[in-house]
Amino acid sequence: MTDDLRSLYQEIIVDHNRRPRNCREIPDADRTAVGDNPLCGDRLTVYVKVREGVIRDIGFVGSGCAISTASASLMTEALLGKTEREAAALFGRFHDLVAGPGREKRASLGKLEALAGVREFPARVKCATLAWHTVRTALNAPGETASTE
């Protein structure tokens, strides 16, 4: 396998695709939004429970490619326990990670770094960012639909 392909489909991506974490509805969620990339066929719903400005629970259901599913799974882990403000900041940093201008020096994003390989696949950036745009919509404009196409 070529290096950038290996870096795109790292073990952690494959694992989170096969066994997505927090892949469940949250019936008493106070914020939800749908993310829909109709051209791709990637579609998911994100559920968030916020208490006193802190994300106390987060989950998603849907269907999509390995990149969008693994990204959604990793995102739920990264956002759990974060404040809304921290979540917004992390959205920006994640976006830079997968689609930012260069390989500027920046602090590590932990497990989310597994998605850095997407940078080499411009056509797949929309897959990696769908869940993040959806959670941002859930937090800022709940009930609306997000898309990265």
Partner 1 sequence: MIRSSALPAETAAPGVPDLLRARDDFPILGRRIRGKPLAYLDNAATTQKPRAVLAAVRRYYCTSNANVHRGVHALSDRATQAYEEARGRVARFLNAREDREIVFVRGATEAINLVAQSYGSIHLQEGDEVLLTGMEHHANIVPWQMACDRAGARLKVAPILASGELDLAAYGRMFSPRTRLTAVTHVSNALGTVNPVREMVGMAHARGVPVLVDGAQAAPHIPLDVQALGCDFYVFSGHKLYGPTGIGVLYGKADHLEAMPPYQGGGDMILRVTFEKTTWNAVPWKFEAGTPNIAGAVGLRAAIDYLDAIGLAAVSAHEGELLAYATEEVRRIPGVRVVGTAREKAGILSFVVEGVHPHDIGTILDHEGVAIRAGHHCAMPLMDLLGLPATARASFGLYNTQAEVDLLVAGIRKAGEIFR
Site residues for partner 1 per CB under 8 A:
1-2, 4-5, 8-9, 14, 17-18, 38-43, 63-67, 69, 121, 123-124, 127
Minimum distance of partner 1 from residue 129's CB (angstroms) = 14
Q: Which residues of 44-71 are buried (b: 16+ CB within 10 A; e: fewer)?
A: bbbbbebeeeebebbbbbbebbbbbbbb
Q: For residues 59 and 117, which CB has a smaller minimum distance to partner 1 in the complex?
A: 117
86 touches 107 (CB < 8 A): no
Nearest to 21 by CA among 90, 92, 85, 72: 72
The encoded tokens of residue 64 equal 């999509």
Nearest to 11 by CA among 65, 66, 62: 66
Minimum distance of partner 1 from residue 90's CB (angstroms) = 25
Minimum distance of partner 1 from residue 64's CB (angstroms) = 7
Q: For residues 8 and 79, which CB has a smaller minimum distance to partner 1 in the complex?
A: 8
Q: For residues 82 and 121, which CB has a smaller minimum distance to partner 1 in the complex?
A: 121
Q: For residues 107 and 123, which CB has a smaller minimum distance to partner 1 in the complex?
A: 123
